[in-house]
Structure formats: structure tokens, C-alpha cells
Amino acid sequence: MSTTFATIDWRGRAVRIECEWIAPERGDAPLVVFLHEGLGSVAMWKDFPAQLCAAGGFRGLVFSRPGYGRSTPRDADETWDVDFMHRQAHEVLPPLFDALGIAEAPWLFGHSDGGSIALLHAARFADKIAGLVVLAPHIFVEDKTVANIELARSAYLDTDLPQKLGRYHDDPDSAFWGWNRIWLHPPFRHWNIEAELEGIRCPVLAIQGEDDAYGTLQQIRGIASRVPPTQLLELPDCGHSPHRDQPQAVIDATVSFIHNRRHP
């Protein structure tokens, strides 16, 4: 794996994006782009992207969104709006792909907020995405999601969570508060992207754990009702991070999904 940085112009300033390539020498292999969760980063994925790419013979791109990992942190007074995931999908991904010279249609592999961003990007740029694998994505806001994000806020204030996140982010306050404040902002309770999903034209594999503390199975079932024929994988004994709780099941399903859709 090789780490590099790309610079994009976003919100009127230059933003540096931390990127890591996996097996770039596999020139003709499908490219899988990994989009992390609300507190994720390149480092937070650990070795899962490499394992998946090795199993499928894929190339991979892992990156940290603005405000995360080693990417440019948020300004101290910068707050995110209710449309923050739309902005990531519509305003960050296209210039990032341009800066990295990605002209092909990649496969997007997104977890949690990253899954929602993948869905939004595919809905807007339908002809530029080969397919989607989304793990525990959000398509609307549920009470249990907000309740557990409130618990995370208490943990950040009262425990060593900032030090733990500091292993994965240059500025853990930037990563945590950007995510936490918008999810707990009262107007965000009305955030809903169900209608936008109907713009998706590529194949979709939606995966969720039956024990997900941050959402019910209505999230991925809602995708299937809007984007037929979405393939669903509901995993027992699995929480909000299927790639950590059930990595082999996720790898097997993803490899089969991409190869079968690439060579029907």
C-alpha cells in the first residue's frame, strides 16, 4: 500500500486529502473506493481494505474525508450543515477523482455515513459508478441512532475516547465534533434521502448487522424498496461494523457481488 495526498479546492480553500492506494499495479482490475464512517479515517479501516482487495484481485483507494485522519482538519469555527453528506458526495468526490486521475467508473464501498455518501454520489452521477457496496448506511434518521450518538458525546467528554481517536486522526476534535454536532442538531432529525435513491442505476449490495446499535434493518430494506434489484445481506451476531464483526462474510459477499456483476 502506498500513501499519498491530493489537494482539492473545497468551500473556497485548498484541502489536502489523505489517500492510500492498494495494489495499483493491478491495472485492469476493478477499482474499489472505500468511504469511511462518521469517525473513520484511512487508519481506522486497518487491514480490511487490503484483505478485500487481495481476495477479489481488486485495486483499492482508501481516503480520509476533510476533517479526518491526516486530511485537512475543519477550521475551528467551521460547522457542518444538514446537507454535509450531500456536499461530500457532490463536492468532494468528483474533484478528488479528478485530482487522482480516476477516469474509470469505480465501485464504491461505504460504511455508515460513508455508505450514505456513496448512495448520494451514485444517485447524482449514475453513469460514473460501476456499483455500490454499502454497510450499515443511513437513509433516514432513527431514534436509536440519535440516542447512541448522544452516548458517544458523553463518552468523548468523560472518558479517554479523545486519546483513542488521536491514534487515527491528527485532530480528533475536528473529527468528533464535526460528526457529533450535526447528528445531534435538531433540524437533522428530518434528514431523509429515500426519494433521491431512485436516481441510482448501478447494482447495489446492502449489508447490515441484526444487532446494529445505530440503525434498524429498515435502512437497507428501504434501499431495496427504492432501488430494485438491490441485494441484501442481513448478518446475525453483527453490530454496526460488519467488516469488523463478520469480515469474512462481508469479503465473500463483496467479491462474489463484484465479479458476478462485472461478468454477468
Strands 204-209 and 231-235: parallel
Taking phi over 0 as left and psi of -120 to 50 as alpha, with beta for the rest, 57 belongs to left
Domains and CATH numbers, the chain: 2-262 (3.40.50.1820)
**Which grid coordinates are listed for 139?**
437513509
User: Are the CB atoms for 66 and 92 separated by under 8 Å?
Assistant: yes
Among 35, 53, 52, 243, smallest CA distance to 119 is for 35
- Which one, of 15, 46, 64, 17, lies nearest residue 179 by Cα? 64
Residue 199 CA neighbour count, 13 Å, CB half = 16
189 DSSP 8-state letter: G
d(C-alpha 67, C-alpha 70), whole Å: 8
Q: Kindly provide the residue ranges of all beta strands, DSSP E only, lying in 187-261, ordered along the sequence.
A: 204-209, 231-235
Largest CA distance in the chain: 52
* Three cell numbers, residue 110: 461505504
Indicate the pTM of the whole model: 0.97
Distance between CA atoms of residues 19 and 16, nearest Å: 10
pLDDT values of the chain reduced to their tens digit, one per residue, 264 residues? 668 999 999 988 999 999 999 999 998 999 999 999 999 999 999 999 999 999 999 999 999 999 999 999 998 788 899 999 999 999 999 999 999 999 999 999 999 999 999 999 999 999 999 999 999 999 999 999 999 999 999 999 999 999 999 999 999 999 999 999 999 999 999 999 999 999 999 999 999 999 999 999 999 999 999 998 899 999 999 999 999 999 999 999 999 999 998 755
Rounded Cα distance between 127 and 39, Å, is 29
